[in-house]
Amino acid sequence: MSKRILVISPHADDEILGCGGYLVHQRDLGSEIHIAYATIGIKGDPMREICRVAEAASVCKRLNASHQILIENYDGELDMVPTRFFVTQFDAIFDSFQPDEVFVNYPSWHQDHKKVYDSAMAALRFRRGFMPKFVALYEYPFVLNQNIHVGGGLWYHGITDSMDEKIDIFSLYKSQIKDPPSPLNPDGVKQLAMVRGAECGEKYAELFYLKQMVR
């Protein structure tokens, strides 16, 4: 069944790290996918911004997804942006796109991730206008050692049949791939998926923290 899916991503690569396998499945089902990147690029480094914007465009093309960048060149500095700016942006996206499902980053201790999480949750308050029926948080490798209580239930999605394509798509973010022991490389992504798969009886899986589901 096709859906309208909104992914809120602090940076260009978080969305694939967290829910790339799920998005591949939804693309194949004909779902409409929209990715809202909080920021792409670093102040004073225009070539890196151009590179990352191009990488994100390639990723979205693979997912048949539309996308937008909320503010440019604030990588690492989103805590300096007023929360109201992001809440207003997210409010507008919810009302215009009217997603069936919303995926938000797990907060973590990274200042950008915390700002985006807090702003998205504020926008998802009980509000007038359109209210999404399904909201979940996706994780990324660095949350494994951060015991931040976010509440809600756990939801696993098996990605054994989309694991290889998830890796292929993540590899389009060439500027973001780091050497081990960093987990930001194909092996690190696969290892996390193996851990989550072992927890739910799959070879590979993605873990989501369920915040809201209305049936």
CATH of the domain at 100: 3.40.50.10320
Looking at residue 134, what is its pLDDT? 96
Looking at residue 144, what is its pLDDT? 66
Structural domain harbouring 81: 4-213
Three-state DSSP class for residue 211: strand
Looking at residue 130, what is its pLDDT? 86
CA 105 to chain centre: 5
Calculate the average pLDDT of the chain. Answer: 93
Strands (E), 4-152: 4-9, 32-40, 65-72, 101-105, 134-138
Specify the DSSP class assigned to residue 37. E
Digit-coded pLDDT (tens) for 115-146: 999 999 999 987 777 889 999 999 988 776 66
Residue 39 CB burial class (10 angstroms; 0-12, 13-18, ≥19)? buried
The total number of structural domains that make up the chain: 1
What is the reported pTM?
0.95
C-alpha 74/C-alpha 25 separation (Å) is 31
Q: Look-up: residue for tokens 């539309």?
A: 66
The token pair that represents 162 in the structure block? 């989309």
Average pLDDT of each block of 10 consecutive residues along the chain (215 residues)? 94 97 98 98 77 96 98 95 97 96 93 96 85 94 70 93 98 95 94 96 97 90
